[in-house]
């Protein structure tokens, strides 16, 4: 600004530069051509200028700065976010897997005044950052705001079975809807039994949203002494031997094994044996069950009922039995019903009823007032119409062809004809006899229309003067 000789002034603690109004647009164009003002977020344009002497460490640092800057620009475009800062920690690659470290990220959000991000919005920021960095897991992303509040604790929290944050929020909504549905059904039944406002019911449900798949193999052994199942294989081995043994006897040593043998004569006779072996393989009965449990099953129900007034033991038992039958309670899973009787505080209820009664009365009075106003307006309108229709008869006037000049109002009956204006009141018998026949009236009407089409301005001025005369007479 000094080089361009533009006067300026700093305001708002140096955050705003004020220039003359006549030069503000020229100054903005000049600053934009110089790349000003800069937000401080450096993106991938940092690689537009390449330095040959840059080391590998500097390249990695520039890449990290570029990713951080691009993420900051993207997150700042979200609704409710005024400014964002992103810090990435990307460890160096290691040779061994045991020495490898996971990358982490931290996000600081400066929110707009009066805005609070929802769990889904924070989860979106977490997944946006984790998807932009290689190897970064959503649970390693931390999101905080400028007030120091941790926003990503709920977004990074996983269920017992590793459910995603979105599923956790949906499960909570489904559980609340199920509780509200049971509560409405039971409240309707209690209102029928005790009256509206005489009983209150609350339902607490625990739902299991874990997804399980179970596979079971049931093998049924055969009964003793019975062959059951399908024969798979059979193996039978029969071995028979018959012959005379030729054994050499003698003292142990080398001399007995040399020829000619000098041993003793062997024993004489025959020998034989038989061996039979049989093996059978049967397929035993086996059943395989694959059970897949869908999320949303009921683990436990707890129901509390509060009744206005006093209840007998029999009435309490009947209510518990009725509630258990309506909700399908299962005592094996720990379901329970609690019924109590206490006098209700009617002061607030009576005050609400009085306010509602007062409001209904005001609405009734307002409706009557609107109807009365409409009737009065209708009567006034009918009176005006009646007074217009029953005005006194006016003398007959004749309209001649108007001259070109608007100053003269003389008419010539022989050129144009006559237009009769009569009163709407019933005429006397003599007046009825003096009325012209219908064809003559139609001829005059045609003449008047032609005159209005040829000289509209003069006819309009004439009718305006008649209206002024009628207003003056009234």
Write out pLDDT tens, residues 330-376.
Answer: 888 889 999 998 888 777 777 878 888 888 888 888 888 888 888 88
**Quick check: 140 and 103 in contact, CB under 8 A?**
yes
Residue that is written with structure tokens 């499960």 in the block: 171
Burial, 287: exposed, middle or buried (Cβ in 10 Å; 0-12, 13-18, 19+)? Answer: exposed
Residue that is written with structure tokens 């993420």 in the block: 71
Closest-CA residue to 308 (of 203, 204, 195): 195
Determine, yes or no, domain membership for 215: no
At 158 the pLDDT is 46
Determine, yes or no, domain membership for 240: no
Q: How far apart are CA 172 and CA 156, in angstroms?
A: 16
Share of the chain above pLDDT 70, in %: 68
- Domain residue limits at 82: 56-154
Q: Are residues 331 and 308 in the same domain?
A: yes
Phi-psi group of 465: left, alpha or beta (phi > 0 → left; psi -120 to 50 → alpha; rest → beta): alpha
Burial, 99: exposed, middle or buried (Cβ in 10 Å; 0-12, 13-18, 19+)? Answer: exposed
Q: How far apart are CA 136 and CA 227, in angstroms?
A: 61
Q: Are residues 60 and 137 in the same domain?
A: yes
**Taking 70 as the threshold, does the pLDDT of residue 467 lie above it?**
no
Q: Are residues 184 and 316 in the same domain?
A: yes
Q: Are residues 191 and 318 in the same domain?
A: yes
DSSP secondary structure code for residue 331 in this structure: G
Q: Are residues 184 and 300 in the same domain?
A: yes
Q: What is the pLDDT of residues 142-168, one digit of tens each?
A: 999 988 888 887 555 544 344 444 456
The total number of residues written for the chain in this structure: 474
Q: Are residues 193 and 91 in the same domain?
A: no
Q: What is the DSSP string of 66-102?
A: HHHHHHHHHHHTSTTEEEEEEEEE-PPP-SSGGG---
- The structure tokens listed for 215 are 């596979």
- The structure tokens listed for 408 are 């003269």
The better pLDDT of the pair 42, 329 is held by 329
Q: How far apart are CA 100 and CA 44, in angstroms?
A: 27
Q: Are residues 339 and 360 in the same domain?
A: no
pTM: 0.37
Helix and strand counts by DSSP (H, E) for the chain = 11, 12
**Quick check: 105 and 129 in contact, CB under 8 A?**
yes
Tell me the CATH number at 72. Answer: 3.30.300.30
Q: How far apart are CA 416 and CA 447, in angstroms?
A: 7
Burial, 307: exposed, middle or buried (Cβ in 10 Å; 0-12, 13-18, 19+)? Answer: buried
At 337 the pLDDT is 92
Q: State the CB neighbour count (10 A cutoff) for residue 86.
A: 25
Average pLDDT over residues 280-285: 74
Phi-psi group of 153: left, alpha or beta (phi > 0 → left; psi -120 to 50 → alpha; rest → beta): alpha
The three-state secondary structure class of 298 is: strand
Q: Are residues 101 and 202 in the same domain?
A: no
Beta-sheet strands, E only, within 102-198? 104-111, 141-145
Tell me the CATH number at 300. Answer: 3.30.300.20
Q: What is the pLDDT of residues 113-127, one digit of tens each?
A: 888 888 888 888 999
Contacts of 137 by beta carbon, 8 Å cutoff, 6+ apart: 102, 130
- The structure tokens listed for 90 are 């990307």
* Number of domain units in the chain: 3
The three-state secondary structure class of 424 is: coil
């Amino acid at each position: 600004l000094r080089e361009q000789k533009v006067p300026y002034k700093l305001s708002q603690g140096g955050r705003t530069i004020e220039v003359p109004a006549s030069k503000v647009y020229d100054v903005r164009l000049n600053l934009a051509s110089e790349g000003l003002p800069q937000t401080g977020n450096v993106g991938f344009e940092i690689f537009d200028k390449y330095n040959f002497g840059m080391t590998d460490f500097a390249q990695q640092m520039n890449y990290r700065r570029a990713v951080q800057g691009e993420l900051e620009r993207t997150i700042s475009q979200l609704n409710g976010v005024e400014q964002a800062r992103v810090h990435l920690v990307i460890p160096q690659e290691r040779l061994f897997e045991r020495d490898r470290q996971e990358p982490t990220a931290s996000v600081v959000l400066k929110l707009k005044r009066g805005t609070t991000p929802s769990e889904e919005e924070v989860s979106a920021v977490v997944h946006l950052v984790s998807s932009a960095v290689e190897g970064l897991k959503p649970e390693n992303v931390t999101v905080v705001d400028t007030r120091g509040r941790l926003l990503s604790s709920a977004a990074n929290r996983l269920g017992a079975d590793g459910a995603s944050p979105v599923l956790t929020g949906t499960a909570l909504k489904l559980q609340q809807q199920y509780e509200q549905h049971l509560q409405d059904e039971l409240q309707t039944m209690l209102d029928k039994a005790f009256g509206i406002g005489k009983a209150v019911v609350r339902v607490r449900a625990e739902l299991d949203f874990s997804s399980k798949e179970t596979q079971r193999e049931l093998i049924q052994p055969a009964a003793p002494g019975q062959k059951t199942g399908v024969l798979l294989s059979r193996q039978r081995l029969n071995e028979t031997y018959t012959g005379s043994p030729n054994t050499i006897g003698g003292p142990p040593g080398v001399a007995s094994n040399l020829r000619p043998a000098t041993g003793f004569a062997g024993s004489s006779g025959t020998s034989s044996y038989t061996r039979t072996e049989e093996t059978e393989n049967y397929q035993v009965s086996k059943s395989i069950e694959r059970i897949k449990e869908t999320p949303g099953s009921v683990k436990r129900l707890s129901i509390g009922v509060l009744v206005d007034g006093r209840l007998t033991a029999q009435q309490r038992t009947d209510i518990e039995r009725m509630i258990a039958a309506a909700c399908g309670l299962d005592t094996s899973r720990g379901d329970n019903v609690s019924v109590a009787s206490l006098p209700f505080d009617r002061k607030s209820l009576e005050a609400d009823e009085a306010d509602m009664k007062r409001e209904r009365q005001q609405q009734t009075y307002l409706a009557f007032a609107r109807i009365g106003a409409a009737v009065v307006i209708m009567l006034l309108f009918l009176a005006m119409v009646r007074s217009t229709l029953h005005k006194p008869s006016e003398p007959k006037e004749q309209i001649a062809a108007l001259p070109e000049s608007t100053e003269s109002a003389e008419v010539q009956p022989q050129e144009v004809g006559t237009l009769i204006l009569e009163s709407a009141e019933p005429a006397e018998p003599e007046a009825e006899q003096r009325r012209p026949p219908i064809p003559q009236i139609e001829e005059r009407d045609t003449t008047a229309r032609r005159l209005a089409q040829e000289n509209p301005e003069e006819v309009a001025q004439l009718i305006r003067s008649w209206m002024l005369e009628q207003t003056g007479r009234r």
